[in-house]
Structure 1
């Protein structure tokens, strides 16, 4: 064992297999598909000005176009982004090992591809790119029985906030890549040490996927995981805060959309799907929205958006793990 995760994965194989494994999208007519493509393209541009106004984060240049994709396209884009983010080559040095890990990665991406609505990719090889997965957006708006045009703009408000976060604060992408590099690097542990930590994890499974990760990580890796979790919680919570702040002014049915969407997030899943969601950390991500939004809501209410934006100054001004649930601690430390 001597390299990073990025070098141990055959990313091309992961993309190819993942695209093949992706579940078929719900059937739509050509008219519905073309209408969705057109409306999502317009919504991704229309969302930027109000997001910039509410966040008070300033970005230079014209609003870039979003890339509107289907599930296989998203898998290929995500695989390439992960390769760049983890510093891997297009093909792993060990063919068999690379194919095995590539198959595992492709299967995970295939599962996730059926649920993701959009994503801002700061690691896209041709520069940061906003991806919108139109089959999933159509499927969810049908499930929720909400006006498609309103729902598409509402989704774009959240995803465009991520674009503004990264374009207004270019250091964020480098910080994420550097932290992920620590998290995915080979710590050089001997097999017996890994087994020992796995045994410790088996005695206490209360932490779910995060507990499993900690069981096989060195202390620097655990600290890196904490930094990534905190940053993810902040980014998602901030996007939800902005979406709710902008929504009433530009999305007529926002109250209904938010209520039904939150109900959908919390509904009970079949046992197998619950297991997969736990293993992949999807439920932990959903918790990030709630905890992160509560943090942002509290700080903005107390000090205003301009002072809140101090949070984007550097890695040192980001919240500490204990501060996410106690935002006053962050205010006292930073402001």
Structure 2
């Protein structure tokens, strides 16, 4: 039995990515080529080159992992839907099981669909001068290098994800990153079947959130695209942006800070990011609460998994700790905690149906202050 290589966890997954993929192969500098800030294909080649494939695993065992994860994702639907009170029109959907490069490819495609129209539109219609072909090539190459390092690191950490597919023609899918799940269950000494189902409970909750609440995906994409557009600087704003970097550096890199993303934000942009962050805190916290409620019913070793997984979250040291702080991953951990506390407090006061009023419309979503003060949300929405 040969060692499992990248791209072999799910053949269908590779086809799915290529069908959506990426960036049309138009020669740089072509008059019809949209202006791009990042050379996406170069970034993907770099990711494939530097990202380790993951734990050694034979072909037959790899197929068993894929089958087990697909089964776990389907099993997770019914208890998640029952516990959350949210039901999707189409019922369960089998997850797409992927390797690390395929996870990166899917996310690069989503980033391109989000960022490229913003960059191109700002340059062509926003009064910003179009850079020449050489400048575009150099900028795209430099940014691709930075993205390669970032995505390679993240692709070794992510266990699962509900991909929103920012391309309007894209198909949102639940992704499970097989090498990372196998590596985590081995390192933590967990029961594989239980751990895989436990991971799927959290990720399936995200799928149910977006499929049971049809307006939510479009709302989040629109808010994200709005802040991306606002962050595109004009040439006369470059000096001001540099001043913001100097001003915000300390806060961005403090424990729990938002990382590099916080460096470039003025007050209005910080407020918009806070609104998006509140929605993300709600989604992540809700998924954690549902996972915690369902877990004891269907995962026999759930207490062992929780204890060891939480210990792993808190024991990050050295370079990994620095990278997490720079990328703002500590802030993401805070989202889980704050969002879960909000969900639990609201549910304890107004019940599950009362909490689910949060999904009625964009106006019933909590803002950042309400995430920290659930009583304020209850007073606003329930009177």
Q: Determine if the TM-score, normalized by the shorter chain, exceeds 0.5.
A: yes
Higher RCO (CA 8 Å, separation ≥ 6 residues)? 1
SS in 1 for 2:334: helix
Q: Is 1:16–1:76's contact at 8 Å kept on the other side of the alignment? A: no
Q: How far 1:11 moved relative to its partner?
A: 2.0
Residue 48 in 1 paired to residue 77 in 2? yes
Q: Which residue, 207, 210, 223 being the options, matches 2:271?
A: 223
Question: 1:1-335, aligned counterparts within 5 Å?
Answer: 7-88=36-117, 94-123=136-165, 125-185=169-229, 186-188=232-234, 190-202=237-249, 206=254, 209-210=257-258, 213-270=261-318, 272-335=319-382
Seen in structure 2, the aligned counterparts of structure 1 residues 97 and 208 have a Cα distance that, compared at 3 Å, is farther
Q: Is 1:237–1:288's contact at 8 Å kept on the other side of the alignment? A: yes
SS in 1 for 2:97: strand
Measured in 1, the distance between the counterparts of 2:56 and 2:173 equals 27
Q: Which sections of structure 1, spanning at least 5 residues, go unmatched? A: 1-5
Measured in 2, the distance between the counterparts of 1:88 and 1:59 equals 31
Q: How far 1:43 moved relative to its partner?
A: 0.5
Measured in 2, the distance between the counterparts of 1:90 and 1:13 equals 18
Measured in 2, the distance between the counterparts of 1:210 and 1:62 equals 36
Normalising by structure 2, report the TM-score: 0.80
Measured in 2, the distance between the counterparts of 1:153 and 1:207 equals 32
Seen in structure 2, the aligned counterparts of structure 1 residues 31 and 55 have a Cα distance that, compared at 3 Å, is same
Normalising by structure 1, report the TM-score: 0.91
Q: Which sections of structure 2, spanning at least 5 residues, go unmatched? A: 1-34, 121-130
Seen in structure 2, the aligned counterparts of structure 1 residues 218 and 251 have a Cα distance that, compared at 3 Å, is same
Q: Is 2:160–2:203's contact at 8 Å kept on the other side of the alignment? A: yes
Measured in 2, the distance between the counterparts of 1:288 and 1:62 equals 28
Alpha-carbon RMSD:
2.3
Q: How far 1:15 moved relative to its partner?
A: 2.1
Q: How far 1:224 moved relative to its partner?
A: 2.0
Larger deviation, residues 21-30 vs 242-251: 21-30
Q: Is 2:118–2:228's contact at 8 Å kept on the other side of the alignment? A: no
Count how many residue pairs are aligned between Structure 1 and Structure 2: 329
In terms of Rg, which structure is larger?
2
